[in-house]
Chains A and B, each alone.
Chain A
Amino acid sequence: MSVKDHLPANVESKLTSSRALSQIKDGVSTAYELYRSDRLGQFGIVVLAAFVFIAVFAPILAPYSPGARHRRDDGSLARLDAPSTDHLLGTTHHGQDVFSQLIVSARVSVFVGFLAAFIAVFIGTNIGLISAYYGGWIDDILMRIVDIAYGLPFLPFVIVLVFIFGANIVNIMLVIAAILWRDSARVVRSEVLSQKQRPYVESARAIGASDFRILYRHVFPNVLPLTVLYMAFAVAYAIMYEASIAFLGFGDPNVYSWGRMMYQAYTHGAIREAWWWVLPAGVCIMLLVSSVFFIGRTLEEITNPEIRH
């Protein structure tokens, strides 16, 4: 840093790009070291990878079409059959194969989880960067918007919007992102406020770097670990909210999802008798979301070294 303060502009630009790169490299290698020693983080990565694999290859892995109605040998509808070798997790009230529905449903959770979280964190990080960097009235306006976003109760808001705009999976994803951005905006803003005071920002400005360049080339790499952490949290919440929306009956009626499976099982009163229809979807949601939280916990130790053991 102290050397860089006195360098001409062309050298500065080379230095920063390599500095930003090496920062990211450092982060990755610290992450690698931490995950190597952290069982919980390893477990999270393995489970998450397994679900992503299932989601990608769902059509190949599922033994039947999720909507197909199966019949017993005597020709009657296979209504609420217990698990057997034909149907690993039994059948639903409509004679559909629970196992196949479970596999296909992984797609929605993984898709909505990652995409909604990415959009949310993308918006949130940019708002945080701009708000903290420019300050003044820009900061005031943006932070009031964040306050309002915090005043909106999540599920009611999402349900009303999904209802108005139509229950399809893209709308559900966008609506979740439209409210999840607030967390990363607030956190990135306070981190940038402290980064702004550091000498590297001043030296970059003295050299004549543009605001855009300072923000995205110099400041952003320093808040990147925090962004990744909040991305993990956002993935977890997006998956849970998608499931909750579907459970309340406002999900996309054309796609299978774990929340919708629980909704159907619940409305058919299957929780009294058909455990095989109810439990698998819930276990999957819990496993997938906790794997993301476990990964997040390890990431947290990278962004906040004080809590490392």
Chain B
Amino acid sequence: MSLKKYVVRRIGQLIVTYWAFLTLLFVVFRLAPGDPTSMYLQEGLSAEEREAILARHGLDQPLHVQYVEYMAQYLTGDLGQSFRHGVPVWDVLVVRFFNTIILMGLAFAIAYLIGVSVGAFIGWVRGTRKEKTGIVVTLIARSSPEFWIGILLLMVFTFYLGWFPSGGIRPPGTEYETFLGRYLNWGVAYHLVLPVLTGVIYYMATPTLLMRSSMINVLNSDFIQIKKAEGIPEYIILYKHAARNSILPMTTVVALVVGMSIGGSLVIETVFSWPGMGREMVESVTYNDYPLAQAIFFLMGSLVIWMNFVADLAYVYLDPRVRYD
């Protein structure tokens, strides 16, 4: 199969996955027991009022009509009206979406950078005490759910040392005119430290362990022995030859870690009162605001599906040996 054919096939898969994901979303939110009509309409509502509300949200139609309408809406980017805020879902989400992307994107990027370097190092010093310590520390970090790491950091750095704020995204009362101005300032950076650190500690375990085993595979190959025999300094072999050749498998878990961090945003944002999608999701579910919950679920799932797609394409692009199957 040629590269072109592979890409076309992968796009086909993407479409099928999206369709199934959207359908699942519809089924989960409309067909499950305790459907939204009974859950969201307060008691004591007269029959006419109830019907009016149902009609406004299109809930009085038969299910197959609702399904077609829902698909059409989502495909044209209309995510519906929030029950709780009384405004289009997009208006609620547009700022929160970027707040989450900034937070989790930073945590993810730093976790990957540290994970790859630490993993390369402990793979290199295989069989020593340092490796063992590295693995134990990594496994313990992986065993600590985000809320536990976050609470520990809060206890130490906020309540004991008083170095960082306990939550929020910027000092109260500050307003910014431009989009970039919202994020590129010291107030936000200061509020970002602890939540990002929480994510970094938890998410770096997966890339670290994978990089280590990938390093071990590469270090066993002949060309490393040859480089050693050539008398090339160790650190050059480590970074120029071994680590570079070990990085490829890291693309395979990108989507997995993105998925973990997207889901983890619910917990981290709750602990640090970060005004992002994750916390909004928790609240919208608590307050029965199902169009909002559904839209956030859709955005989060889309991020993971797209990252999967990009990672697959990156993999075949980066590795010319790969067979497209």
Q: Which residues of A contact B (CB under 8 A)?
A: 40, 144, 147-148, 150-157, 159-161, 163-166, 236, 240, 243-244, 247-250, 259, 262, 266, 271-272, 275, 278, 282, 285-286, 289-290, 292-294, 297, 306-307, 309
Considering the complex, give the chain A residue whose CB is closest to the CB of B300. Answer: A153
Bound-state CA distance A155–B262 (Å) is: 9
26 A-B contact pairs sorted by A residue (CB < 8 Å): A40-B132, A148-B24, A150-B255, A150-B304, A151-B305, A152-B24, A154-B259, A159-B282, A160-B29, A160-B297, A164-B28, A243-B147, A244-B147, A248-B267, A259-B145, A271-B154, A271-B159, A278-B151, A282-B144, A285-B144, A289-B144, A292-B143, A293-B143, A294-B139, A306-B217, A306-B220
Q: B260 contacts A282, CB within 8 Å?
A: no
Measured CB to CB, the residues of B under 8 A from A are 13, 16-17, 20-21, 24, 28-29, 32-34, 126-127, 132, 135-136, 139-140, 142-148, 151-152, 154-155, 159, 213, 216-217, 220, 255-256, 259-260, 262-264, 266-267, 270-271, 281-282, 285-286, 293, 296-297, 300-301, 303-305, 308
Contacts of B144 in A (CB 8 A): 282, 285-286, 289
Contact A156 B28 (CB under 8 A): no
A282 touches B152 (CB 8 A): yes
| Shortest beta-carbon distance from B317 to chain A in Å | 20
CB distance from A82 to the nearest CB of B (A): 16
Determine the chain B residues whose CB is within 8 A of the CB of A275 once the complex forms: 155
Of the candidates A153, A160, A272, the one whose C-beta lies within 8 Å of that of B262 is A153
**CB <8 Å contact, A271 and B148:** no
Do residues B297 and A154 form an inter-chain contact, with CB atoms below 8 A? no
Using A150-B308, A156-B266, A244-B146 as known contacts, list a sample of 19 further A-B pairs with CB atoms less than 8 Å apart, ordered by residue number in A: A144-B13, A144-B17, A147-B13, A147-B308, A151-B301, A154-B259, A156-B296, A159-B282, A160-B29, A244-B266, A262-B148, A266-B151, A272-B159, A282-B151, A282-B152, A293-B139, A293-B143, A306-B220, A307-B216
Residues on B with C-beta less than 8 A from A161 are: 28, 32
Residues of chain B within 8 A of A153, CB atoms compared: 259, 262-263, 297, 300-301, 303-304
Which of B32, B263, B267, B271 has the most chain A CB within a 10 Å cutoff?
B263
- Chain B residue contacts of A272, Cβ below 8 A: 159
Could you tell me the distance between the alpha carbons of A38 and B154 in the complex, rounded to whole angstroms?
Answer: 35
Contact partner of A144 (CB less than 8 A), chosen from B20, B213, B267, is B20
In Å, the complex CA distance between A278 and B151 comes to 8
A268 vs chain B, min Cβ distance (A): 13
> In the complex, which of the residues B13, B20, B145 contacts A285, with contact meaning CB atoms closer than 8 Å?
B145
* CB-defined contacts of B255 to chain A, threshold 8 Å: 150
Asked if residues A155 and B142 are in contact (CB atoms below 8 Å), the reply is no
Could you tell me the distance between the alpha carbons of A149 and B285 in the complex, rounded to whole angstroms? 21
Contact across chains for A159 and B139 when beta carbons are under 8 A apart = no
Instruction: Tell me the minimal C-beta distance from A234 to chain B in angstroms.
Output: 14
CA distance A306 to B216 in the complex (A): 9
Taking CB atoms, residues of chain B closer than 8 Å to A294 are 139
> In the complex, which of the residues B17, B259, B263 contacts A147, with contact meaning CB atoms closer than 8 Å?
B17
